[in-house]
Homo-oligomer: A and B are copies of this chain.
Amino acid sequence: MKLTPRVAKILSWYESDNPGTKANLARILNAGRLGGTGRMVILPVDQGFEHGPARSFAPNPAAYDPHYHFELAIEAGLNAYAAPLGSLEAGAATFAGCIPTILKVNSSNSLATTKDQAVTGSVSDALRLGCSAIGFTIYPGSEYAFDLMEELRDMAEDAKAAGLAVVVWSYPRGPNLDKVAETALDIAAYAAHMAALLGAHIIKVKPPTEAISLDAAKKTYASHPVEVGDAAKRIAHIVQACFNGRRLVVFSGGESRGADSLLDDVRAIHAGGGNGSIVGRNAFQRSKPDALKLLSDIIDVYLSEV
């Protein structure tokens, strides 16, 4: 197999990484229907942890079985499947070599009393399960943000030494951030930038809204305006915050909703130069045929000319 020029270019941005990590990034970038394009669609299934099993899987009970998600991701031709320890343990051997996997190594839950996460997997776990990457969530703005960053630093160092890639979910929340702030453009760009500074290979954020939230940032955005009304321009600003495009950034799909609304987002990501989508509930809460249709439509957008 030969790398496409686009993938070769992307790998060149990760100039400090060892060949093991580059190979795992290449595995993710070369998998599925988007293989070689530099775009990705990833299936993440940690909602059982975050929201509980019934809220996650009752709409499509087949999804209670961890094998279902491996199959969905493979059949849809996705780039990778991300899940917590138990889920990967339950399918990693059956589907070994069929699709790159990302071990989500920390998780929160709806019963939690703090805006923190528990570390629930390790780099060793990722290695024994044949994963290509670890996935880690940070909450910039939380009282636990520094602890989360330090845990990430620690695990990322080990992951990189072991030739794994590091995917960072960067979700702003905390006592000084209201609901608007959590997805405001300036905050989202900041969150993405911090993930890049922390050494992430792939960054996951939510699509930003038009809001500018941090008082200290308003003057800057006033003198150096972003066309916040244009979703693609907002995406482009996030890409800029990811080392001007030197780090891969993907956007989450959010709550279950109509395919049209979701595809609008995807078109903006595509137009703005984002590297893809990470679509969970919108995929596995639909019936398998519907999910395959939607994922195919998303992939088609990323395959289209910008």
Contacts and interface: CB of A to CB of B under 8 A. Distances in A.
B197 A243 contact: no
Contacts of A71: none
A197 to B, nearest CB: 4
Interface string A125-162: 10011000000000011110111011001000100000
Copies of the polypeptide in the assembly: 5
A200 interface: yes
Interface stretch (A72-80, A89-97, A294-302): A89-97
A264 interface: no
B244 A64 contact: yes
Given A54-B186, A120-B197, A240-B61, A145 B112 contact: yes
A87 B197 contact: yes
B193 A48 contact: yes
Interface string A196-217: 1111100000000000001011
B117 A146 contact: yes
A243 B91 CA distance: 11
A172 interface: yes
Contacts of A304: none
B146 A118 contact: yes
Interface of A: 13-17, 48-49, 51-55, 58-59, 61, 64-66, 84-94, 107, 109-114, 116-122, 124-125, 128-129, 140-143, 145-147, 149-150, 153, 157, 172, 174-177, 186-187, 189-190, 192-194, 196-200, 214, 216-217, 220-221, 223-224, 237, 240-241, 243-244, 246-247
